[in-house]
């Protein structure tokens, strides 16, 4: 497909996954292992270039050795041995000789010669008629990327990965970690060829308030670096080389949106209650500690979900207990007198992996994730629990365990928590002995056993993203079946009601922290089902507060009773959509 000429306005339609309007030049990120620059060298430079190869390999071996040691320390095991194959490849004499020979024979720069040789290795692995071995090509790409980063740049100025100007990121796809690492001071939004509205990357974009559009096929081939663009995160459009009239039109839309948002800001300090007096706790979801001030400024009643996986895993090295203690203490202080709920590490699935695995999981959504990771990595788990407990001396904290499937896992987690409390008692370290302990209800087995689980905890928080996925057996990031991922599926609604009733019967409260909590169309349904708390992204919080304050709890309860008798998702959606538009229709403009 030809590159779009700079004088032609083109509109590419995709899927809106995070609302907002952005203007700026495109910054195009290619997919896969990128080839380094190729340039010729003089014969006198050959030995120097060969030395650069050896230095880069040595530095990479040191990095991997440190990573291996760290993994073994936090796992109290020998899991770091999975990196032995990486180190063996970096020491492979045949590979090194081929790189050296290529430099001598072709008089080309070191990094390109290394890249050319390692790509042959990866391609050979991809062609092996064995699923396990062919998957190892990704490992080779990972090693190659590390080595390429370690080449010195004595003879050329370093090239920045991220431009210093404000921009819109254009990529084949972004992982959750890629999204988490975006420079939020300069990145105005992103557009990708791949992705779905229910992927964790999309969820993260909404949580961070970054406008995003996905599903723009062929985008990278068409668009040039620094092309002027408009990203429409409301209607799912990317406009390339917009005409002056188009730019003026979208600036008008942006001013209108911002004016509505200013009106909503006036509700910041008002009570979050329905028109007939039903109080709802409206708290915030956060991913990073630099978001803590936004919790206070948004008017949230504390933090309903601090997703710690990005803080713990985002930089490649898990922070120490002391570092975690400082961050959790900050959360406790800044949300006082409200509560801040810290979810323990929730890795796996389409989130960040807890650590590299010796072989890819055949189905990571049904694999090593959630509380399962923590229970098998006691050293890492105890560090996090101790840090949370110590921080609870500085404010009102709660601890929450993710993806529990039954009572047994909760008992194991609570036992380790008690072990940490006993240690702190012996050390005479202060903490809150009455810290609230809760669990995520994310799988059908947990919802069906909610009456028993409720006897062991202080609160439930329903993670609707995974609850929907596991209830209807749909991988939410699989474009072939994502149309079956419906929040209003009757089975999902009944499981939510079952969970709320079990909590009520045992005197504990129930919140919702998944995407359903942020969906204005579904607010009447959730209120009617009897939830006590909604936890949403700070950018969405003012709209949800306005919606709650516009609704009658009695009318919502009648709606929920009718919804529980429905057989089809579409019928439930129609009920709640009708009430939402009638009550606060202006929020959808």
State pLDDT tens for residues 428-439: 999 999 999 999
Question: What pTM, to 2 d.p., does this model score?
Answer: 0.70
What is the mean pLDDT of the segment spanning 92-112? 90
Q: What is the pLDDT of residues 573-588, one digit of tens each?
A: 999 999 999 999 989 8
Of 32-41, 293-302, 322-331, 405-414, which range is least confident? Answer: 32-41
Residue 352 has a pLDDT of: 60
pLDDT at 81 (0 to 100): 58
CA angle 463, 562, 544 (to 5 degrees): 45
Per-residue pLDDT, 110:
92
What is the reported pLDDT for 34?
63
Least confident window among 88-92, 339-343, 462-466: 88-92
Three-state DSSP at 495 gives helix
Cα separation of 147 and 61, whole Å? 9
Tell me the pLDDT band of 126, cut-offs 50, 70 and 90.
low
β-strand partners of 357: none
> What pLDDT band is residue 27 in, cutting at 50, 70 and 90?
confident
Mean pLDDT, residues 23-35 taken together: 73
Query: Using alpha carbons only, what angle is made at residue 467 by residues 464 and 472, rounded to the nearest 5 degrees?
Result: 125
Task: Please say if the pLDDT value at position 347 is more than 90.
Answer: no
Quickly tell me which residue has 């490649």 as its tokens: 316
Across residues 101-108, what is the average pLDDT?
91
Catalytic residue among 27, 167, 200, 338: 200
Residue 142 is predicted with a pLDDT of 66
If we measure between CA atoms, which residue out of 434, 455, 436, 581 comes closest to residue 520?
Answer: 581
Quick one: residue 579, left, alpha or beta (phi over 0 = left, psi -120 to 50 = alpha)?
alpha
Known active-site residue 187? no
User: d(Cα 392, Cα 566) in Å, to the nearest integer?
Assistant: 44
- What mean pLDDT value characterizes the chain? 87
Q: In Å, what is the CA distance from 472 to each residue of 369, 446, 483, 485?
A: 19, 15, 11, 7
**DSSP 8-class letter at 129:** S
CATH topology of domain 43-149: Enzyme I; Chain A, domain 2 (1.10.274)
Residue 471 contacts residue 489 (beta carbons within 8 Å): yes
Do residues 291 and 204 make contact, with C-beta atoms less than 8 angstroms apart? Answer: no
Given a cut of 80, is residue 30 above it in pLDDT?
A: no
In which element (H, E) is residue 311 found?
Answer: helix 309-313
What confidence score (pLDDT) does residue 103 get? Answer: 94
Which secondary structure element, helix H or strand E, spans residue 257, and what is its range?
A: helix 244-265
Closest CA to 520 of 171, 264, 239, 314: 264
In the chain, pLDDT over 90 holds for what percent of residues? 57
Q: Which residue has the tokens 């396990």?
A: 132
358 falls in which pLDDT band (50, 70, 90)?
low
Can you read off the two tokens belonging to residue 483?
Answer: 């149309």
Q: What is the C-alpha separation between 573 and 340, in angstroms, rounded?
A: 32
* Per-residue model confidence (pLDDT) at position 276: 96
How sure is the predictor about 260, in pLDDT bands with cuts at 50, 70 and 90? Answer: confident
What pLDDT does 158 receive? Answer: 37
Q: What is the pLDDT of residues 456-503, one digit of tens each?
A: 999 999 999 999 999 999 887 777 888 899 999 999 999 999 999 999
The CA-CA-CA angle for residues 472, 475, 477, to 5°, reads 135
Reported as a pLDDT band with limits 50, 70 and 90, residue 504 is: very high
pLDDT score for 317: 75
For 539, the token pair is 């950018």
Phi/psi region, residue 442 (left: phi>0; alpha: psi -120 to 50; beta: rest), is alpha
- Count of helices and strands (H, E) across the chain: 23, 16
- Per DSSP, 405 falls in state -
Structure tokens at 326: 């400082």
Q: Does domain 267-588 have CATH number 3.20.20.60?
A: yes
How far is Cα 281 from Cα 509, in angstroms, rounded to an integer? 10
pLDDT value at residue 48:
93
- Which one of 113, 420, 513, 556 is the catalytic residue? 513
Mean pLDDT lowest among 102-116, 165-179, 228-242, 323-337: 165-179
Tell how far CA 140 is from the center of its chain. 25
Which of 64-78, 121-135, 139-153 has the largest mean confidence? 139-153
Q: What is the 3-class SS of 71-116, one letter each residue?
A: HHHHHCCCHHHHHHHHHHHHCCHHHHHHHHHHHHHHCECHHHHHHH
User: Could you confirm whether 420 is annotated as catalytic?
Assistant: no
The three-class DSSP label of residue 126 is helix
In the chain, the percentage of residues whose pLDDT exceeds 70 is 86
Inform me whether the pLDDT recorded for 66 exceeds 70. yes
The two three-digit tokens of residue 579, written as one number: 């009430």
CATH 3.20.20.60: which residues of the chain? 267-588
What's the CATH code, domain 10-31+172-260?
A: 3.50.30.10
Query: 478: exposed, middle or buried (C-beta count within 10 Å: 0-12, 13-18, 19+)?
Result: middle
- With a cut of 60, say whether residue 153 has pLDDT above it: no
Q: What is the pLDDT of residue 154?
A: 43
pLDDT tens digit string along 201-225? 787 788 778 999 998 876 666 777 7
Task: Please report which helix (H) or strand (E) contains residue 307, including its range.
Answer: strand 303-307
How confident is the model at residue 268, as a pLDDT? 86
What is the rounded CA–CA span in Å between residue 193 and residue 171?
A: 7
Omega of the bond prior to 4 within 30 degrees of 0, cis? no
Residues of the chain with CATH 1.10.274.10: 43-149
| Residue range(s) in the chain whose domain bears CATH number 3.50.30.10 | 10-31+172-260
Contacts of 230 (CB under 8 A, 6+ apart): 21, 22, 23, 237, 238, 239, 242, 246, 247, 250
Query: For 363-416, how does the pLDDT look when each residue is reduced to its tens digit (9 = 90+)?
Result: 778 888 899 999 999 999 999 999 999 999 999 999 999 999 999 999 999 999
Check if the beta carbon of residue 190 is closer than 8 Å to that of residue 201.
no
């Amino acid at each position: 497909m030809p590159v779009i000429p700079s004088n032609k306005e083109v509109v590419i339609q995709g899927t809106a996954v995070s609302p907002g309007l952005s203007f700026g030049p495109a910054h195009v990120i290619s997919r896969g292992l990128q080839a380094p620059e190729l340039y010729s060298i003089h014969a006198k430079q050959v030995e120097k270039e060969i030395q650069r190869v050896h230095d880069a390999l040595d530095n990479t071996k040191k990095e991997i050795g440190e990573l291996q040691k760290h993994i073994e320390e936090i796992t109290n095991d020998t899991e770091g041995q999975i990196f032995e194959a990486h180190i063996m490849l970096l020491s492979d004499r045949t590979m090194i000789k081929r790189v050296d020979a290529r430099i001598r024979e072709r008089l080309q720069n070191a990094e390109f010669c290394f890249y050319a040789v390692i790509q042959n290795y990866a391609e050979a692995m991809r062609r092996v008629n064995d699923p396990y071995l062919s998957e190892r090509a990704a490992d080779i790409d990972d090693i190659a990327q590390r080595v390429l980063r370690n080449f010195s740049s004595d003879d050329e100025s370093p090239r920045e990965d991220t431009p210093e100007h404000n921009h819109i990121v254009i990529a084949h796809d972004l992982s959750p970690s890629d999204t988490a690492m975006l420079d939020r001071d300069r990145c105005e939004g992103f557009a990708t060829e791949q992705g779905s509205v229910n992927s964790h990357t999309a969820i993260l974009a909404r949580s961070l308030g970054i406008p995003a559009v996905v599903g723009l096929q062929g985008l990278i081939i068409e668009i040039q670096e620094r092309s002027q663009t408009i990203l429409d995160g409301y209607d799912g459009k990317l406009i390339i080389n917009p005409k002056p009239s188009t730019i003026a039109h979208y600036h008008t839309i942006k001013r209108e949106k911002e004016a509505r948002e200013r009106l909503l800001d006036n509700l910041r300090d008002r009570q979050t209650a329905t028109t007939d007096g039903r109080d709802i706790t409206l708290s915030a979801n956060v991913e990073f500690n630099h978001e803590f001030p936004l919790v206070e400024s948004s008017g949230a009643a504390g933090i309903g979900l601090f997703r710690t996986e990005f803080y713990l895993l985002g930089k490649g090295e898990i922070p120490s207990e002391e570092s975690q203690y400082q961050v959790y203490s900050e959360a406790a202080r800044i949300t006082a007198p409200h509560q801040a709920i810290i979810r323990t590490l929730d890795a796996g699935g389409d989130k960040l992996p807890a650590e590299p695995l010796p072989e890819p999981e055949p189905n990571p959504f049904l694999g090593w994730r959630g509380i399962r990771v923590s229970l098998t990595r006691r050293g890492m788990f105890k560090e996090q629990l101790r840090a949370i407990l110590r921080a609870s001396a500085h404010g009102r904290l709660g601890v929450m365990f993710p993806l529990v499937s039954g009572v047994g896992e909760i008992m194991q987690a609570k036992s380790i928590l008690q072990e940490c409390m006993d240690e702190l008692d012996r050390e005479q370290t202060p903490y809150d002995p009455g810290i609230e302990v809760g669990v995520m209800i994310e799988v059908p087995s947990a919802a069906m056993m909610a009456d028993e689980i409720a006897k062991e905890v202080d609160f439930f928080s329903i993670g609707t993203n995974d609850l929907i996925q596991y209830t209807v057996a749909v991988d939410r990031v699989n474009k072939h079946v994502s149309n079956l991922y419906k929040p209003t599926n009757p089975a999902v609604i009944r499981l939510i009601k079952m969970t709320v009733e079990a909590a009520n019967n045992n005197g504990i409260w129930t919140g919702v922290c998944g995407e359903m909590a942020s969906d204005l169309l579904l607010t009447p349904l959730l209120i009617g089902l009897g939830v006590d708390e909604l936890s949403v992204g700070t950018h969405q919080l003012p709209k949800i507060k306005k919606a709650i304050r516009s609704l009658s709890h009695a009318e919502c309860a009648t709606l929920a009773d009718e919804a529980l008798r429905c057989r089809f998702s579409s019928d439930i959606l129609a009920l709640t959509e009708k009430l939402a538009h009638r009550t606060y229709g202006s929020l959808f403009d």
